[in-house]
Amino acid sequence: MPDEWERARLISDISRVLNEPATPKETRTACLTLIGWLARRKPGEQPHALGIDEARESERRIQARKAAR
C-alpha cells in the first residue's frame, strides 16, 4: 500500500522537525496536530471535510474586508 508508506514517511519527517531544538512553539503545535490527524486515519479512509465550508466563508469575509479598505 504505497499511500500507507507515504503517510508513515510523512509522520517520520514531521517528527524530525519536532526534535530540532530551534523549532518554535507554534511549529511544534502544528506538527503535533498534523501527526495526530495523520495517525488517526485508517487505511483507505478519506480526510474529513468538517469545517471546510466555514473556513471558506471566513476567508471570503476577510478578503472582502481587505478589498473594502
Query: pLDDT, tens digit, for every residue of 28-52?
Result: 999 988 888 887 766 677 666 666 7
> Model-level pTM?
0.54
Check if the beta carbon of residue 34 is closer than 8 Å to that of residue 14: yes
* pLDDT, position 47: 64
* pLDDT, position 20: 93
* pLDDT, position 21: 93
* pLDDT, position 14: 93
CA distance 61 to 50: 19
